[in-house]
Amino acid sequence: MSIDLHTTPSSPPIIELEQIGRVFTRSPVAAERLLSLFGRDPEIPVLRAVRAVDLSVQRGEVLGLVGESGCGKSTLGRIVTGILPASSGKLSYEGQDVQTLTAQEKKRYTLSVQMIFQDPYASLNPRQKVGDILAEPLKVHGLAKGRSQIKERVRDALLEVGLDPAYADRYPHQFSGGQRQRIGIARALIVEPDFLVCDEPIAALDVSIQAQVINLFLELRTRRALTYLFISHDLSVVRHIADRVAIMYLGEIVELAPAADLFASPAHPYTQTLLDQIPSVRNRKRKFHAVKGELPSPLSPPSGCAFHPRCPHATERCRNEAPSLVSIAPGRTASCHLVKESK
Ligand code: SF4
């Protein structure tokens, strides 16, 4: 797929993450509170969901973010949209630290960056009619005046995602999974965003419907010059839509490359394993297995390279020393002791 970035070389990325981290801790249980009362420090486990991620998304591109369930990719998506604050690092929108945005700039960022959720049913209020669901962001943000303008915007949004405007009077339960995802997309589009964070948007849909929804994303990208962060556990899904792909493992980006390069010559052993699971003409005779072993708990990540317990190439060095993310070719980075750094 050719990259037609709606940007100039000097324009900043629409979104930039620098050393972004996110930790989760639980509340202390009774015994731990008791320890605190006696001046002892209870050891409450810290879950490092996202660890020092650097990533930027240029205006007009589609960046695929791929990794197994639990690797931190959805947490990262929520940080990008501002739904979840980062614990550390810097998030910039159009070159400006979001922490320093004025109220008006913050509003622009909030509207410009929208999220599409995996489960369309859970993200739609079952007690609201579709027309009211779509009208709500217009009313909350004062984006349309009067009932007739709101009605017109709702009608246009439904048409744009391929739904009959008469559906505005129905409730979410009256739709199929694919139609509900289209309603979710219409709700995001109605505020005229520039950037959609799509979190596993087709994972809950029937296989027969998935291609239709992917095609809708492709059409919308062209029609509205949208930028996407497209999150998926399945490399074969992003293959059809992404310009670049970032591979995430246990909270870290382990490989980033233009999609064509990544699929032609994956550099990181984890990417190679993910790619081996995609049925293709090239590997049609192979037996397909899930990636060997389970994703380790982010509560106690392995020493050295986090992938070493599952890596077929792991050595003693891998068990003791974490590799750094290095440049391996123009526009390509990977973190593995086996890759050769390009200078
Ligand atoms: Fe495998 Fe070692 Fe590379 Fe990690 S650093 S991916 S364990 S070869």
> What is the rounded distance in angstroms from the CA atom of residue 103 to the CA atom of residue 310?
47
Residue 280's pLDDT band, with cuts at 50, 70 and 90, is: low
pLDDT at 230 over 80: yes
Residue 68's pLDDT band, with cuts at 50, 70 and 90, is: very high
Nearest partner of 91 among 108, 111, 70, 76, judged by Cα: 76
Residue 1's pLDDT band, with cuts at 50, 70 and 90, is: very low
Residue 295's pLDDT band, with cuts at 50, 70 and 90, is: confident
For residue 6, what pLDDT is reported? 47
Global confidence as pTM: 0.91
pLDDT at 281 over 60: no
Residue 198's pLDDT band, with cuts at 50, 70 and 90, is: very high
> What is the rounded distance in angstroms from the CA atom of residue 296 to the CA atom of residue 277?
20
- Could you give the percent of the chain with pLDDT greater than 70? 93
Cβ of 311 less than 6 Å from ligand 1: yes
Atom nearest to 339 CA in ligand 1? 3
For residue 290, what pLDDT is reported? 55
CATH fold of 15-127+171-334: Rossmann fold (3.40.50)
Atom nearest to 315 CA in ligand 1? 2
Mean pLDDT over 120-142 rounds to 93
For residue 157, what pLDDT is reported? 98
Q: Where does the chain show beta strands of DSSP type E?
A: 15-25, 46-57, 62-66, 88-93, 96-97, 113-116, 195-199, 227-232, 244-249, 252-258, 326-329, 332-334
Cβ of 183 less than 6 Å from ligand 1: no
Mean pLDDT over 274-290 rounds to 61
For residue 41, what pLDDT is reported? 78
> What is the rounded distance in angstroms from the CA atom of residue 298 to the CA atom of residue 42?
19
Mean pLDDT over 151-165 rounds to 97
Instruction: Measure 134 CA to ligand 1 centroid, in angstroms.
Output: 47
10: helix, strand or coil: coil
**Cα dihedral: 47, 49, 324, 343 (round 10):** -160
Domain residue ranges in the chain = 15-127+171-334
**Cα dihedral: 150, 202, 110, 61 (round 10):** -110
State the amino acid at position 185 in one-letter form. Answer: I
Cβ of 106 less than 6 Å from ligand 1: no
pLDDT at 287 over 50: no
For residue 126, what pLDDT is reported? 93
Residue 9's pLDDT band, with cuts at 50, 70 and 90, is: low
Instruction: Measure 268 CA to ligand 1 centroid, in angstroms.
Output: 8
- Which residues are CB-contacts of 90 (< 8 A; sequence separation ≥ 6)? 16, 17, 18, 19, 20, 97, 99
